[in-house]
Amino acid sequence: MSVPDYMQCAEDHQTVLVVVQPVGIVPEDQFFKIYKRIASVSQVSIRDSQRLLYIRYRHHYLPENNEWGDFQTHRKVVGLIAITTCNSAKEWPQTAERFHGQKEVYSSTLYDSRLLVFGLQGEIAEQQRTDVAFYPSFEDCSDVEKRVEDFVESIFIVLESKRLDRATDKSGDKIPLLCVPFEKKDFVGLDTDSRHYKKRCQGRMRKHVGDLCLQAGMLQDALVHYHMAVELLRGVNDFLWLGAALEGLCSASVIFHYPGGTAGKTIGRKPSISQAADAGKRHRPGDHGALTANGISADTSTEIGRAKNCLSPEDIIEKYKEAISYYGKYKNAGVIELEACVKAVRVLAIQKRAREASEFLQNAVYINLGQLSEEEKIQRYSILSELYELIGFHRKSAFFKRVAAMQCVAPTIPEPGWRACYKLLLETLPGYSLSLDPKDFSKGTHRGWAAVQMRLLHELVYASRRMGNPGLSVRHLSFLLQTMLDFLSDQEKKEVTQSLENYTSKCPGGMEVITLPDGLKLPPVPFTKLPIVRSVKLLNLPVSLRPHKVKGLLGQNISTASPFIYSPIIMHNRGDERCKKIDFQWVQGDVCEVQLMVYNPMPYELRVENMGLLTSGVEFESLPAALSLPAESGLYPVTLVGVPRTAGNITVNGYHTSVFGVTSDCLLESLPNVKTSGCLVEVIPSLPRLQLSTSLPRSAHTPQSKEELSSSVSVQLFNGETQQLTITLENIGSEDIESLELTSKIVNTKEKVFGEFLSWDLEDAVSHLPLKPGQAVTLTVCIKVKLDFSGQENLLQDLNDDGISVTGLPISSPLRQVLKPRPETKSVGGESGKAEYSHTKVKKSKHYIFPLPFTESGVVFCVISCSMNIVLRRLFFTLYSIMEACCHEGLLSLLSCSLQTLSPAAVHQV
């Protein structure tokens, strides 16, 4: 026996094996359709009995395995169901001959057989035969399951008769020696009359009867026979059959402890009546040894007897270990040893003893089964992977599945199975903590071994390329670059990006979801790390384009304040920051800007093509930009622009890029480290744009307020002077200007200036409204200076001369000017902290202009040229006070005097 059955489990020891095979030409789909219906009859309740018969079906079974039927009876083919098609009576003889030939293959072990014929009608089909059933077609065969149940009952009758025949102790009869195929040559010439030989025969027969009892539903009897066989075989050191007896004892105990089965199938076994009796239900003491009407006795075991002979869960594993150690002594029993390991692992999985289960699997790995084909190796590694998964060893499971994948494309295979390899590689991903969804890697914590994950992703890329699917290669390579960027060396980054550019030259990468043939969907991979964005800021429009709310009538302010409600409960969510509405507005049709702070993590220059904004809410035209970021650059500002085409609320959801031939849509919600003050802004309808120009020269000083325009003009006038200002208004936008309002305000400086300067007439300008785009209108503003200085207090300029500060008091109050000395700290004779003032220092000639009170003819100035010491200055201010009094009485209109040559005596005379 060279091919193991990796699906074997302990409860299979109580099943009978039935082979279902096609005879002649049968459509494959039709065959498996009937096969599934036959296999649905997995257990049959025997009539007039409390026992169940379990059936195991196979559509392919090697005849050489059938030769081990005496060693373990569940390996023996006891039933054959042949499926064939026959369209005419002429084909029937040939069909019948083929059926008989098929029976000859398993004739040494066969209990019964059936032939299901489809398509034959007529006289032959009307004949009543036990072993043949005729059906007009594959669709018209409603009683297939019923015929299978009858067939199973006939098998049970034969099985029960053999059990009774073998179990009867016939004194004086010579017990035959049961052998496995490789033992027959070893017993040639042995003394058959020796006590050792007879014990060997008795022990093997006891073990064989135990198998028959287990198949026939006699669990207690099976346990008794297995115990007796173990004692007999241990005494003669018949290790191979001793291992089989121990394994049978383990199987019977597993069936008792785990009636639901250990195979992990979704459909559990139905507990038999005898198993219900074990729990103290439907058990009548008077039934011991009773025979039913057909002469078949029920399983009369009791709870006490079974508990005595049944192994405990811990003992089951110990006996499995002992049995496997005996199997290991025989080279030709490798398949039996491997299957025993698999059965023990399934039991340990039920018992949740993963560590011990891994020891059995480790032993199974090193069992030599001789020359295995590549397909058998793939199957072996795949089953080992499933068993490791069953006990929770996910990484070990992934390792063996990856080995199976590599075996699919071994150099010895003439036609490598790249599709099978790719499918198996995908199944290894969970074991290596790897997901193909990039969202699982955006949380910041990396799970698993990055080096192994990168190797696996490279293998997926290569396998998908050999499959002839370049789009799949691009997707896996993009995923590798995005998720493993932090673990790639500089050289690896260059190699991966070069490979990606080569692949995308043939098949560009996009954001579509790729669906594999088996239904698995690969999500898109946005390049959020090429480049990395750290902040997103929506920019306000330029000052000249910012919209301002209309406050209604001029001079009136509409209060927009809302009532303040205090609450101690703060409902705040950081996730709402991006949805927070910004306090400024954008305008439909105007270019809007969003500033990103980005940097390049690559060791070389990164070229980003076609970078733009992703928005929602209104129709938005994004104007793409191209970037070239230097290698490993720091934060670099990038401004993305676009034009909203409709009004409403617009949300900036993210940005799109094109890097290395891969188009990416990067959403801000998937970037947890991005700082933003809000991405929701209101877009108001299009507004008119008005350009203003005047006839006056531009001012050298611009207002510092952000709310005012940066352009201004200046004019210098004397009091009482009038000048005309021409203002030209041109519509440079796309909307009509329908209304025009003009207001003025006085900006207060240090001094308080009272009076109105500007006057205008809008009738002519308003008559030209509405102003179409491209049209202009002019209006004239009259500037007339008429100031009132009666309340002025600080009009005298500060004479910032050394030690003297002249402060002018209200001119309406004469003779009250005060000289205020300016202190200066000087060091004299080494002493500090003393203030001295200079009274003798003569300054150069200066001109001082002092405004005098108004007259009807305008402003009166007193112009004085002087070069004097402090004494003359005191005299000058006394003179000035006199002149002021004269002006008030209207006696003096202009006084001009020169004191350059005035001596102190002359001053005294004056």
Q: Three-state SS across 530-551?
A: CCEEEEEEECCCCHHHCCCCCC
Architecture of domain 532-550+577-684: Sandwich (2.60)
Confidence of residue 629 (pLDDT cuts 50, 70, 90): very high
Contacts of 582 (CB under 8 A, 6+ apart): 538, 677, 678, 680, 681
- CA dist 131 and 151 (Å) reads 9
Q: Is 886 exposed, middle or buried (0-12, 13-18, 19+ CB in 10 A)?
A: middle
Return the number of other C-beta atoms located less than 10 Å from residue 738's C-beta. 9
pLDDT at residue number 536: 93
Return the number of other C-beta atoms located less than 10 Å from residue 48's C-beta. 10
- CA dist 277 and 401 (Å) reads 44
Closest CA to 459 of 439, 498, 432, 485: 432
- CA dist 677 and 576 (Å) reads 10
Structure tokens at 350: 């039920």
- CA dist 22 and 32 (Å) reads 10
> Which amino acid would we find at residue 882?
I
For residue 671, the number of C-alpha atoms closer than 13 Å in the C-beta half-sphere is: 23
Strands 648-659 and 680-684: antiparallel
Q: What is the pLDDT of residues 507-545, one digit of tens each?
A: 999 999 999 888 889 999 999 999 999 999 999 998 888
Is this prediction's pTM over 0.95?
no
pLDDT at residue number 878: 53
- Preceding peptide of 810 cis, ω within 30°: no
Q: Is pLDDT at 776 greater than 60 in this prediction?
A: yes
Closest CA to 738 of 780, 692, 777: 777
Confidence of residue 900 (pLDDT cuts 50, 70, 90): very low
- CA dist 895 and 860 (Å) reads 9
DSSP 177: P
Q: Is pLDDT at 825 greater than 60 in this prediction?
A: no
Radius of gyration from C-alpha coordinates of the chain = 53
pLDDT at residue number 444: 67
Phi-psi category of residue 803: left, alpha or beta, with phi > 0 → left and psi -120 to 50 → alpha:
left
CA 556, 560, 565, 570 torsion-angle sign: negative
Q: In the chain, where does the domain assigned CATH 1.25.40.10 lie?
A: 195-264+309-370
Contacts of 514 (CB under 8 A, 6+ apart): 471, 472, 475, 521, 522
Q: What is the pLDDT of residues 427-483, one digit of tens each?
A: 999 999 999 998 888 776 788 899 999 999 999 999 999 999 999 999 999 999 999
Confidence of residue 779 (pLDDT cuts 50, 70, 90): confident
Q: What is the pLDDT of residues 408-422, one digit of tens each?
A: 999 888 889 999 999
The mean per-residue pLDDT over the stretch 278-300 comes to 36
- CA dist 178 and 201 (Å) reads 7
CA 356 distance to own-chain centroid: 36
Topology of domain 195-264+309-370, CATH: 1.25.40
Strands 132-135 and 52-58: unpaired
Mean pLDDT, the chain, rounded, equals: 79
Q: Is pLDDT at 569 greater than 70 in this prediction?
A: no
Q: In the chain, where does the domain assigned CATH 3.40.50.2300 lie?
A: 10-168
Q: Is pLDDT at 706 greater than 60 in this prediction?
A: no
Judge whether 473 and 461 are in contact, CB under 8 Å: yes
Q: Is pLDDT at 70 greater than 60 in this prediction?
A: yes
Q: Is pLDDT at 718 greater than 70 in this prediction?
A: yes
- If one compares 750 and 147, the residue with the highest pLDDT of the two is 147
- CA dist 871 and 797 (Å) reads 20
Judge whether 175 and 202 are in contact, CB under 8 Å: yes
E strand segments, 824-866? 846-855, 858-866
Q: What is the pLDDT of residues 788-808, one digit of tens each?
A: 655 544 544 433 333 333 333
Q: In the chain, where does the domain assigned CATH 2.60.40 lie?
A: 532-550+577-684
The tokens 């072996």 sit on which residue?
A: 380
Confidence of residue 674 (pLDDT cuts 50, 70, 90): confident
For residue 759, the number of C-alpha atoms closer than 13 Å in the C-beta half-sphere is: 8
What's the helix, strand, coil split of the chain in %, to 5? 35, 20, 45
Confidence of residue 401 (pLDDT cuts 50, 70, 90): very high
Select the CATH number that applies to the domain covering 10-168 from these four: 3.30.1490.20, 1.10.150.120, 3.20.20.80, 3.40.50.2300: 3.40.50.2300
Strands 112-118 and 77-85: parallel
- CA dist 815 and 664 (Å) reads 84
